[in-house]
Structure 1
Amino acid sequence: MNFKERFGDRRHFLQVSTAATLMLATASNLGWRVQQAEAAELPSDTLSKPDAALKELLEGNRRFTRHQPQYPHQSQARMQELAQVQHPFATVLTCADSRVPVELLFDQGIGDIFDIRVAGNIATPETVGSIEYAVALLGTPVVMVLGHERCGAVTAAVKNEPLPGQIGSFVQAILPAVANAKGLSGDVVDNAVIANVQYQIEQLKRSPVLIERLRSGDLKIVGGRYDLDTGIVKLVT
């Protein structure tokens, strides 16, 4: 065998070896990604039930109000784990108010809460559809409609004065709740905040998708009121 033939054989060997190494590395990386995705596909058994999921929310709020947050699920590893899939254990429909940061006040992290924010925490077709998606496709076992103290949207509905642009659109969705709160003793706006949470829950319970999960016991829908002064979330009945 001459030099040219020997060199050609060696070059071919190196090319094959390099290709094989790359294939193994790619397969290994792909396998790791598949494992990560599979690990994130299902929520933990303890949070797949409505009562347990609600308990986790309230315990997180308790840590927040006691200034003992754990800041869970906020690492780079968590981001990579959920890059392809998500299974939040709770869905929260809350006001878009900047003082109501859901993940912070419940002391949760990336992928824990399916967070839907709109002024007045109203159940519009878009927000209902988003909740249906979270419940039916992502398997969220608990939905909370969260109102808050001194809500500007509810205050606007109580005053019911002309507003510029599209600002008045959410007022129309809150007016039935304001009517329900009339005649109650106490603060007019705060009564309307609670009545609005109750009213929006009634709208959610008209969804056939959510009704099916409620009847099977796989879903719980609750109301909450967030206190801006204390940070406490109290359940609304």
Structure 2
Amino acid sequence: MVMRRYLYITLFSLLSVACRPTPVEQHLEEIPKENLLEVLLQGNERFSEDHPLHPDQTLDRLRDLSQGQHPVAAIVSCSDSRVPPELIFDQGLGDLFVIRNAGNIVADYEIGSVEYAIEHLEVPLVIILGHTKCGAIGAFVEHEHEHSHHYSEYIQKIIDFIDAEEEEQVLQRGTIDFYEKAIEANVLHGIHELKNKVPLVSELIAAKKLRVVGAIYDVETGRVRVLENLD
């Protein structure tokens, strides 16, 4: 009898824990905007520790989104197949407005896309997301003007774009950590481009209605690191 009672109590305790609501059961748009980055980083922690919850990936969510979208963050990331933002932040349908290209470059089309997300979708958070072992930055790092690899015209344009970034030009080539610094500099450039070319961005940041951050995703650990002191 004592053993049976113990089993009942244990089972009840396990069910109570299993049924307890978790923060991710709350849609992102219901979370205070000042907490959004923390919530996304918590999602990344779940992903990197191999216990993602895959929220907002149901048919019901899909049907709800047919009436309109309300993403809570715009993310400019690389097209690299190892860097899918919805997965690495453990989010789902309609949660993130994602702009991807090789090298997570922030040029005219990307700025227009982010501006749309800010002005029309009213996202309160923008993340420029670089990543380790980025092929586009790697090509730039190995690029020598007089001894360059033979790339197609369009790939070369990507390399030349990165090469022209002021944040890259101030770096010292040949240092041990040049590759890592180049990845960070490219993210920094994206943030500066948004702030300098879209007046609305600086206005919303000053009013504490928008946050723009840079981050680096590690393709080996699965973890996202937010860059500090970007101003």
Q: Aligned residue for 2:29?
A: 43
Report the count of equivalent residues.
193
Paired residue secondary structure (1:120): coil
Structure 2 counterpart of 1:189, which letter? Answer: Y
Aligned mate of 1:165, from 153, 156, 166: 153
* Of 213, 224, 227, the match for 2:204: 213
Provide the residue aligned with 2:192 in structure 1.
202
Flag structure 1 segments of 5+ consecutive residues without an equivalent.
Answer: 1-41
Task: Report what 1:134 is aligned to.
Answer: 117
Q: SS of the residue aligned with 1:140?
A: coil
Q: 1:209 to 1:150 in 2, by over 3 A?
A: same
CA distances 1:92-133 after superposition (whole Å, capped 9, x unpaired)? 101110110110100000000101101111111000000011
Q: Deviations over 1:110-161 (max 9, x none)?
A: 0001011011111110000000111111011110101000111011112223
* Equivalent position to 1:154, from 129, 137, 154: 137
Structure 2 unaligned regions, length at least 5: 1-27
* 1:19-66 Cα deviation digits (max 9, x unpaired): xxxxxxxxxxxxxxxxxxxxxxx931x24x2x3111111011001011
In 2: Cα distance, 1:138 partner to 1:195 partner: 28
Distance in 1 of aligned mates of 2:174 and 2:65: 46
Corresponding residue to 2:217 among 210, 226, 232: 226
Corresponding position: 1:235 with 2:223: no
Q: Secondary structure at the match of 2:118?
A: helix
1:55-204 equivalences in 2 (<5 Å)? 55-160=38-143, 161=148, 162-175=150-163, 176=165, 177-182=167-172, 186-204=176-194
The letter for the 1-side match of 2:158 is F
| TM-score, normalised via structure 1 length | 0.77
Question: What is the TM-score with the length of structure 2 in the denominator?
Answer: 0.79
User: Percent of aligned positions with the same letter in both sequences?
Assistant: 39
Contact 1:205 1:211 in 2 (8 A): yes
**Closer, same or farther: CA 85–99 of 1 in aligned 2, 3 Å:** same
